[in-house]
Structures are given as structure tokens and as C-alpha cells.
Structure 1
Amino acid sequence: MKKTLNLGAAPRALCGAVRADATDPKALFDQLNAAVKEMRENNDAALASKVDDVVLTEKVDRINAEISKIEAAMDDALAKIASASLGKAEGPKDAEYTDQFNAYFRRGVSSERLENVKAAATKVDGEGGYLAPIEWDRTVTGRLKQVSVIRQYASVISISGAGFSKVFSDRNVGSGWVGETAARPSTTTPALSSLQFAIGEIYANPAASQGLIDDAEFSVEQWLADEVETEFSRQEGIAFLSGDGTNKPHGLLTYVTGGANAARHPWGAITTTNSGAAAALTGDGLLSLIYALPEEYEANAKLFMNRTTAGAARKLKDGQGNYLWQQAFEAGQPATIAGVPIVHLPAMPAVGASAVAALYGDMAETYQVVDRIGIRVLRDPYTNKPFVHFYTTKRVGGGVKNPDAMKALVIAA
């Protein structure tokens, strides 16, 4: 018999979804648990139905969408708490330089010391811009780590030169068993090759009116840090995942088999596992992906996917009817699939034919982010009067350093 629903009654989980204190992770976590429970109850009812119950299926999809919204709100609340704690760091390490830099912010007043730092920090002496105080630089970089998912989990190094290269062996080392007095013939010798991690320049160009800057209650430094964080994290999120390497990092997905950089690394491409269905996510496909990763990388391995894909994964069951998705037991901890932590990576492709819908592996071992030390700020009060622009730049690079530590799930039969 076909199941019926009272369409006038909103699902229990939807009634309060993201409407309680959206800045309280504990309240959001309670909503999340209630929503997951209700989604499973309705999904089980839909699966048990002998006919296709459109109304029940739509209800499951609505609750599933609300779960994603609650998760996003929780992530945002936790990120804001972490970001606020960064702002409570110790005072300036170099108060004199910080005062001079703030004077440059507000009034465009330079100093001999700022000029000396400018010449040392830029690619071309006198090209313009001043190196931000080190505590300001660290605060912005710390916030970027909270917002940019790949930066948060990848390896990050800071360099003072124009670029970075890493030497790799082809692992072609010969060996053999011999007797105590037997001759030792020559064995094969590994070849070495160098992989360049080119540095691109990322920029933001926020503007504020001179009147706003002159307001003693307005913190130009804090405002600019927030603007830079927002723009840099957005650009990094795109480039670290799909950048083409032209004036930007080489993106992680471009190293997957069939990608533009599949042959770039001496050790080969990031290999793929099929989902087992031409246009859908399957439990068997996810499990095959997880078991395709070599054991030495399992300790720090995570499953990376966007929220839409995560929504599809919540409905998957194993052969015994158990849900593969397990919600975390406390706020701030990730949900898991087959015991593997899930990380939401917004720019990942959604489930669709031939799409790379998920990545599984150790991101720190796989991807290298390269920061050129220092954020530069050029104050421009002339281009767009009466606004003052703060042209802010940071040189960043990135690329895969070990393709064996990551595997990709392709939606294919």
C-alpha cells in the first residue's frame, strides 16, 4: 500500500534548522543529530515502500538539504571562533614598524624604514608596496588556513626566493641475493628528476572612503585583514584544486589520470577508482576507493567531497542494511564513512557521469603549498577618488608532491 504524508506538517528537523543560535556549535550539533535521525527514518520508510513514493522521497531530500545547511552553519561558527582567537594573539613584535605601517594605512605617510623594507621585499626595487608587519601577516595566513580546506590539510612551506623545486627519484634501485664470496655485479641506479613548484601572485584590491579611514574608531588593519582573507581564500580554493599552473598553482585534480598534469610528476598520476554506476555514487565504489590507498598513508587519510556528494553518501548502506555514514559524537568532529573522516571541499565536482566526485588520501603527503614570505600592501588614493584602494598581494604556489598518497573516485560503471 502506498504511504501518504501530511504535506501541511513540516519535517521535525526542518522546523528549527539553522534558526536557533547559529553561532552556537552545541545548538547546531543538536539540530544536526535530530535531522540525521529523521532523515534515516524517512529514508528507511522510502526504501521499504513497495512503490515509488514521490512525496516521501522529496521529504528525505529536503531534510538531507537541511542537514547540509546545518553542517555549513556549524563549520562557519567554528571557523569564526578560531579566527577570533587568532585576533587575540600577543601584541606587535615590532611596535615601531607597526606604528609606521598604520600611519601609511591612514595617511599615506612613509618612512625611511618602510622604504628599506619595500626595496628588500619586492621583485623590483621601488615597484611599490610595503611588507605587512609580521603579526599581521601571520594573522591573515592563520585565517586562510581556517577557511581554505586544502591549505588546512596540505603541507605548507614558506620560501624567501623566487621559486621552489623538489628532487625525486624514479625508485629504480636494483638489488639481489648473493653468496658470501660471490661477485657483486652492478645493479640499476635510480635516476633523479626535478619538479618545479612555480609561484603565482594572488591579489585583493579593497577600497574604503577617506572619511571612513579617518574615523578613529575604525580599524583599517582589521578591516583589510578580513577583506584579504575572504578574497585570498576564495582564489586559493579554486587554484589549489583546479589551477592550470599559469600564474597560479597546479591544481590537485589536474594530476588525476586523464587530467592536464597527469604526466607531470615523475611518479605518475593520481590513480582512479570507478564508482560502479554510470551516473551515481555507490557504497561499493566508496569502499573500493578507500581500500585502493596503500596502507602507509591510511593514518592521516581523509575523504574529500562537496556537500552535495556528502548528501548522496548519507543514504548509502552496506550489504547488511547499515548506513555507511556515521554522524560525529561531538561538535567540531567530522562525520565518517566506514570509519574514515569526511572533509567538505566546496569546489569538488558534483556527482555526474565521468566526474571526479571524491578524493581519498593523506593531503599533507600529497599536496605542497608554497608561500613566498610576506604580504605586500600598496596604498592608492588616486585611481578612484574619494576612495583609497589597498592593493594587497601575496605570492603563492602549489602542486602535487606525492601522487601515491591520494586516490580519486570517478563516477563511472
Structure 2
Amino acid sequence: MTTSTALRLETKADNDFTHVETALVRLTDTVNAKAAANDNRLDALELKLNRPGIVAANDNDPERKSFESFLRHGEQTKALRVADDTAGGYFVPDYFNAELDRNVVLFSPIRSVARVVQTSSPAVLWPNRQAGMTAQWVGETSTRPSTNVTFGERRYQVFELSAYVDVSNQMLEDAALDIGALLNFEFAEEFGRAESAAFVNGSSVIAPSGFMQDTTVQYTPSGSASAITADSLIDLYHAVKSPYRSNAVWGMNSNTMAAVRKLKDTTNNYLMAVTGIANAPVTTILGRPVVEMPDLPDIGVNTNPVVFGDFSNGYRIFDRVSLSILRDPYSQAATGMTRFYGRRRVGGGIGKAEALRKLKVSIS
């Protein structure tokens, strides 16, 4: 190849490259120009749609159209209304609140002051000393007396609380509330109420024995045939042995508390004191706390409206099964129901009877 031929080929390649470069520049300018034009059209369309009263052609929302008609022309007789179901009220459903309101269930908080023991047996045997030794003063050569200690035991039977409720299968499937959690709460609340009532007043052979029905718990008379006196509460306080008084509490219901709060000592000071902060008041009588027990009776002739003593020594609770819920989808299947069985096994009874003492409304 000659030199002149090589120069012509190089010149042609340069020219071809220049043409390609020029074409790419023109194409880029065209694309940018079209993109800018599209952006301008979109901005103009968005501005137009944002103007008041502008509705897209495919907007068929009847409530929006009715509202715009009202803004333009005033009251419309055919406007949708929440108060009228057929005129649009169906579109505005009631709000369902998933929080359930419950009435207050009162029960005596015996568990908070008594001794609670877990057990794995159907009954508990608790040994006790029934009589202690006796000693005598003797002379140098006198015959020494013999003595002995007598022991016994107390038996605490475990009893069962039970109830069942039928729930429709559709309710279980469709309810907005958690039915399982609801039933757990309801069973626990009712069992708590029932067992606390038994701990106080139980006298059945198939339920725990209540401390108010136990004849080994002694009483102090109020000195009045129909009322509680300030002196009787002082007598009751000192009738309990001093080792128990340091951990003792008063038990009474709300009506009795109202009556006792009006009692005054010889210096015209109220016998019952309320101390502590506003949200956590502590009510005391003679320095010992008062526990409200709604299962105790009101003040009346020959009633025992007040109890005082050390419940941690005086009363014992034995838990065997805290709460068991059995779901039975079969026995009521023909009626479209599921049955839930709730059960609880617990025992209770007096520990040391001398640790508790009742106040009886009577002369003697």
C-alpha cells in the first residue's frame, strides 16, 4: 500500500467518526427536549387538577359529588345523609370499641394476708402442738414431777370449684374480641369471688372452712346489743396475744368501716386514722391496717362484723390447681356450640385459732 492510499483511508475514518458524533449529539438534544416538554405538560395537568372544584372524569364517589354540589348550589334534597341508612348511612358504620366494660366484682382479699401454700396432694396434714410441758418449783430433795407434750394434726381437704359455659362456633369465628382471653378473665374473677367467700364464711362439707364459722376462733363482745363501741375495739386489740398483734390486721366491710370511722376516743380523736398519699391511703385502727372484706356481715344483733388478728398464722390456703380451662368442641357439636369447662382446686382452713379473734355485737 502506498503512502497516499493510507492517508486517504485515515481521512475517511476521521470524517465517519465526526458524522457519528454529530448524530449522537442531535439525538441527545431531541430526547432532552421531549422530556422537558412532557414535564411541562405533567406540571400543567397537576396544577389544573389541584384547582378547587376539579374532579377527575372517572371519579364516581357519590358523597364527593354531593358535597361539591352543595358547595356550588346550596342544599340538595337528594344529598347523602348519615342519619338515613337508605340515603347513605350504611356507608358510615358505627365504631366498635374492643375494650369491654365490666361491673366491679367485690371479694375479700384473704389471699393477700393469709398464708398460701402450694400442694400436689388432695389433702394436707399439718401437725400441731396441743399441749406443752408443765414445770413446778421443787425443794432440794423433793420428788421431781413428770411432764409430757401432746401433739395432734389438722387435716386440710382440697376442694373443687367448677363451671362451664357454651359459646356458639360462629361467635368463636367472628367475634371482634378475643373470646379465649375473655373466658379466662371471667372464670378467674368468678372463682376468686367464690373462694374468698368460702375462706370467710364457708361451712359446707364440700368447700373450704371459713374462719368466721370456725368455733375455735374466740370472740370479744362489743358491750352493746346493737352497735360497736370504741372501747370494744380496744378490748379486741388486746385480747389477741402480743406476738400476733405486730402483724395483725382488722377486717370489716365498707358499711362497718363507715360506722367505725365515726368513733372517737376519750380525747375526742377519731379512733380510725387515714394516712399516706392521696392515691394510696392507709387506713389504720390503733396503728394496725384495716382490710376491707365485703363478705363480712353488717353491724347487727349477735353478728360478728369485725375480725382482728394475724392471718398469716391464723388462716392457711392450699392451692392444688390454680385455673384449668378445658375446651370441648364435641359434646355440643350438634347444636353448633363449643363448651368450655373451668375448674379450680383449693383448700383452706384455720391454722392457729389464737391468732384471730372476732368482735360480736352483744352485751356479753
Tell me whether the two structures share a fold, i.e. TM-score over 0.5: yes
How do 1:38-57 residues align onto structure 2 when only pairs under 5 Å count? none
Give deviations 1:110-159, integer Å, cap 9, x for gaps.
Answer: xxxxxxxxxxxxxxxxxxxxxxxxxxxxxxxxxx9x96411221111111
Which of 228, 238, 246 is the matching residue for 1:281?
Answer: 228
Q: Name the residue aligned to 1:162.
A: 122
Which of 394, 400, 403 is the matching residue for 2:344?
Answer: 394
Post-superposition offset of 1:341: 1.1
2-structure distance, mates of 1:151, 1:250: 14
Q: Name the residue aligned to 1:315.
A: 262
- Give 3-state SS (helix, strand or coil) of 1:253's partner: coil
Which of 181, 192, 196 is the matching residue for 1:222?
Answer: 181
- Give 3-state SS (helix, strand or coil) of 2:282's partner: coil
How do 1:235-314 residues align onto structure 2 when only pairs under 5 Å count? 235-255=194-214, 262=215, 269-314=216-261
How do 1:170-181 residues align onto structure 2 when only pairs under 5 Å count? 170-177=130-137
Task: Looking at secondary structure, tell me which structure has more helix per residue.
Answer: 1
The normalised TM-score by structure 2 is: 0.65
- Give 3-state SS (helix, strand or coil) of 2:134's partner: coil
Check 1:296–1:234 CA distance in 2 against 1; reply closer, same or farther (3 A cut): same
**Contact kept in structure 2, 1:198 and 1:245, CA below 8 Å:** no
Identical amino acids, percent of aligned pairs: 30
1:346 aligns with 2:294: yes
Q: Name the residue aligned to 1:205.
A: 164
**Contact kept in structure 2, 1:204 and 1:232, CA below 8 Å:** no
1-structure distance, mates of 2:185, 2:344: 15
- Give 3-state SS (helix, strand or coil) of 1:247's partner: coil
Gapped regions of structure 2 (runs ≥ 5): 1-103
Q: Name the residue aligned to 1:70.
A: none
Post-superposition offset of 1:292: 1.1
RMSD: 2.5
1-structure distance, mates of 2:108, 2:229: 28
- Give 3-state SS (helix, strand or coil) of 1:223's partner: helix
Q: Name the residue aligned to 1:407.
A: 357
**Contact kept in structure 1, 2:274 and 2:281, CA below 8 Å:** no
Larger displacement relative to structure 2 (222-231 or 181-190): 181-190
Greater C-alpha radius of gyration:
2
2-structure distance, mates of 1:306, 1:216: 39
- Give 3-state SS (helix, strand or coil) of 2:131's partner: coil
Post-superposition offset of 1:184: 7.6
The one-letter code matched in structure 1 to 2:162 is Y
Q: Name the residue aligned to 1:332.
A: 280
Post-superposition offset of 1:237: 1.9
1-structure distance, mates of 2:347, 2:316: 8
Post-superposition offset of 1:220: 3.8
1:380 aligns with 2:339: no
Which of 305, 324, 333 is the matching residue for 1:357?
Answer: 305
**Contact kept in structure 1, 2:107 and 2:293, CA below 8 Å:** no
Aligned residues: 257
- Give 3-state SS (helix, strand or coil) of 1:347's partner: coil
**Contact kept in structure 2, 1:369 and 1:399, CA below 8 Å:** yes
1:190 aligns with 2:149: yes
The one-letter code matched in structure 1 to 2:157 is A
The one-letter code matched in structure 1 to 2:229 is T
The normalised TM-score by structure 1 is: 0.58
